[in-house]
Amino acid sequence: MPRTQHSTIMMLLPGLVGLLLVLTAEARVGDSSQLQFCTETEECLLFDPICQINDLEVRNYSSVKWVSTSESSMLMEFAAMNMFRRLFDYIRGSNDQGVVIDMTSPVLMNMPQKSWWQTGVFTMSFLLPDKYQKSPPKPTDGKVKVHDTPDMTVYVLSYSGWMTTSSINNAFGQLFTQLDAIGAKYRKDTRYAAGYNSPMTIMDRHNEVMVVVEGKPACPSQD
Ligand SMILES: *[C@@H]1O[C@H](CO)[C@@H](O)[C@H](O)[C@H]1NC(C)=O
């Protein structure tokens, strides 16, 4: 009897190992040492690199959960202060479990499509650490929500320095110019700006702007 049990386990083992690999590959919030530009938090949003187009990158992101809040404003800088405070309160314990949650990277900003003088809705998101991805603590502030980003393929342009309205607009301008020059198709309705550094960091700051690929990414052919 123990013998049959043993061989049953041996037969199941390859399947279990396979399952474990799949689960590991699905954990898309992970150790920051895997990302050279993610240096200030223990966990970061990970991705699969797909290809490089000049100085643009194509990446695959898996669906992940974020805690988010929105604010209407003319300037990102004004909106950001209120949004950051609300999200910071959430990770400091303003949630139904009263738990303190580690900061992760990047902080994501969803930028409205608008002219500079218009008011638009900005959304800021903190990425939930791996241990809270399955069942995030519920926010106690009604303006703070948990939301998912779907699996997505994105075009990314990285730049250094500070994340300001003008640096973000400038980076998006460069991203769109380069994508339009090669006839790449992308969604116009979602514009993400990602920041990887605290405001206290002076050197080696890393920021990104990204848009979602429509159809197949315009990767250079392999030959
Ligand atoms: C990237 O995502 C696309 C669309 O979901 C998928 O077809 C492709 O296989 C993915 N590539 C990798 C390397 O994960």
DSSP assignment string, 179-202: HHHTT--EEEEEEEEEE-S-TT--
What is the rounded CA–CA span in Å between residue 30 and residue 104?
10
Q: Using the predicted structure, report yes or no on whether residue 8 has a pLDDT greater than 70.
A: no
The phi, psi pair for 13, rounded to 5°, reads -55, -50
Measured between its terminal Cα atoms, the distance across the chain in Å is: 58
Between β-strands 144-149 and 107-110, what pairing exists: parallel, antiparallel or unpaired? unpaired
CA of 134 to the centre of ligand 1 (A): 23
**What is the SS3 assignment for 41-103?**
CCEEECCEEEEEECCEEEEEECCEEEEEEEEEECCHHHHHHHHHHHHHHHHCCCECCCCCCCC
The residue type at 186: Y
Q: What is the pLDDT, as a whole number, of residue 25?
A: 47
3-state secondary structure of 9: helix
Question: Is the C-beta atom of 151 inside 6 A of ligand 1?
Answer: yes
Question: Is the C-beta atom of 60 inside 6 A of ligand 1?
Answer: yes
pTM for the whole thing? 0.86
CA of 157 to the centre of ligand 1 (A): 19
pLDDT category of residue 199 using cuts at 50, 70 and 90:
confident
Q: What is the pLDDT, as a whole number, of residue 20?
A: 54
Residue nearest to atom 7 of ligand 1 (CA): 216
In the chain, what percentage of residues exceed pLDDT 70? 87
Question: Is the C-beta atom of 58 inside 6 A of ligand 1?
Answer: no
